[in-house]
Structure 1
Amino acid sequence: MSATRRSFFCAVGLFSALAGPVRAQTPAPAEAENGRFAMTPVANGFLRLDTKTGQTSLCTTSADQAQCRAGADERAALEAEIARLSKENAALKAGAAAPPALAQQDEEDRRFNRAMDRAETFMRRMLRLFRETEKPAPPSL
């Protein structure tokens, strides 16, 4: 990348860093009255303040991009959330494995019960037929 392009991108990054507080001062809807982030220039780049959560990040510009690094308290919160989601994901995976086995057992039970009902119906009909055919013989004289 040429030196001219690098200078251009650095200027754009610096302008956007300095334009952050200006944007926050322009009139906006009530829900975003002050903007979400406030940018403040510092020696190594700029400091980004999240006005909703109060978390800060140090942002630096290099060559053609800006990088923001989360503060220690923000990083701890992110790691705690990742750990919580990992546990929840593992629990969901473990829970998802059990129901198909139960569903298969339930299906086997239904098939067995249906077969037993049919066998019982068959036996009752057969017994009824035997009773009907066992009519007493007429008395002989």
Structure 2
Amino acid sequence: MRSKIACGATLIALALTTVAVADTADNIGGRFTMSPVDGGFLRLDKETGAVAMCARSGTAWSCTPVEDHTPAAAAELSKLERENRDLKDRVKALEDSLETKLPLEGPPGGKAQLPTEQEIDQALDYLERVYKKVRDRVKDLDNPLPPPPADATPPPKGSL
């Protein structure tokens, strides 16, 4: 009976030592943590949080992902999916608004270019010519009409 207890204690001590050594080695700089379980090992990816069950299959080892079916995980997944969908809708709306505003805001490619000095001078010259023509027309409206010539015959009655 004592030998069975001693043997069991030795196996437990060996298992705990293996777990402690594996955990210490992984924490030093490894990406994965391995924990022994019945039929193989559970592998935890410290970067992504993914858990996989690793077991011997014939002569090779293979790891299969372990699904988390807890209500908290389902709620978190649902929240993340909803947030992802909302963000995709927001990005789509922003892209659509850019496409519709682009022709109104500037040339294709989005780079507006300031006019050159020559183009500014041309625009100001044009405005100056327009202003002078309008000013001259207004002055002409202020001048009285000249009297009709003395030798001109009056238009017949009823004509325009």
Instruction: State the TM-score, normalizing by the size of structure 1.
Output: 0.45
Instruction: State the TM-score, normalizing by the size of structure 2.
Output: 0.41
Greater RCO, CA 8 A, separation 6+: 1
Higher helix fraction (1 or 2) = 1
Q: Highest CA radius of gyration, 1 or 2?
A: 2
